[in-house]
Structure 1
């Protein structure tokens, strides 16, 4: 009797997982297979006909310098934004890892940017940084400093700073949570040994935060690489193609040029390019997490 129940239990579990499997199949498998099929067709928004053209879309994407330029820009932006956000997020987490008056209010105010949609956040800064009517260029001009944040010289720094202003709180939350898990006894022992604040941070806090920092870097790196909405609102990939991310490149290829087939091919090629990198990054994050435990 007991053996029959044990045999029945896995069957019940399979039936319970069936709805989840159906959702995954509908939301992941079908769109992926459909994208593969469209990438082999001459599918365009301007035409109902979509003749089979084989690997022509892949060849077109692989010979398009703009495709490689957009990947390079996304990688550069992700690196700069992630490093800036990690440094600021860690600094703020260490600063807030103590008791002081108004800590709760200050923490709540710091987290407010996370509550705003990225496109709306970008729109706010688009108005504030406008060369003619923006508040920030106006006050700089009053100081005798002409400033156009979207000039080719400054536009990359502008985008990184705006992205950091919104996502530093995300890194702050993760790192602050990691700080709360470090035993206070370690800091007390360091103080007894006469360690300075910097020595304590370098020998106790930072090594124990490596798994947490790796997780934050992994999450923010992925999100920064696929950035689309903020750049679309602020620069639309300009001046020229200077700030065109790979997500924006695929969007323009699909909906401005109307070449759905090549856009699908570019997105699939991007998946193959990123898969090994993401696999290695995930392996490192899991490994560092186990070592931290």
Structure 2
């Protein structure tokens, strides 16, 4: 029997991409899952996939759909309340939601509006959702896993706002590991490499010349671990590991899942490789 059977799990940003696969992975192992996102239809579709995955593994799991803007404190309260009402407890919180609003090839392209929206979503909402969940996680000696980025380990000069938000998230996790550890709650981050997902496609389409798609291919080509491409499944496997009993002594850590790419440095900074792919920063 899976250790996740009948566990209560919240996965934010789970209407697509890495979050959806994380939710489905927990469901396949018998966990009851609350899915969170802004698009109610995509959220419903993801919940149905979770139920099918649970049934395929012989588990009759329950799901909760919490649609809304994660930066809204009332939505955060609703996510926690709905979960505890439906499942009776909270065992695992996966903070996966994230925002990449724009491609920022220079400081001139970084706007206060985009910066504030990115920080509010990626960092502030994460912190205060965790705060609201602590009293419930303390009862179950539960676990928190945040999904960060390899952009915290190597500089990516084209994503100023997003990179700063994730660097802050990693340090938030280190601080909270000291505060929550005595309550029996572990907290860690998974730091993914570039993964093909809805958010990367949408950001790429908004950037001139399909920049993000080209950069993603470049990152994959530069990954030392050849013939193995990291998708959402590889990230989900590590999220589940960090919330499992096997990781019971791992607390406050950032686990990079990138095939060794950070050991080479971020390809976005290799100007010789990027010629013809990424436009140069504006000259002032």
Fold equivalence (TM over 0.5)? no
TM (norm. structure 1) is 0.21
Per the normalisation by structure 2, the TM-score is 0.22
Which structure shows the bigger proportion of residues in helix conformation?
A: 1
The structure having more radius of gyration, on CA atoms, is 1
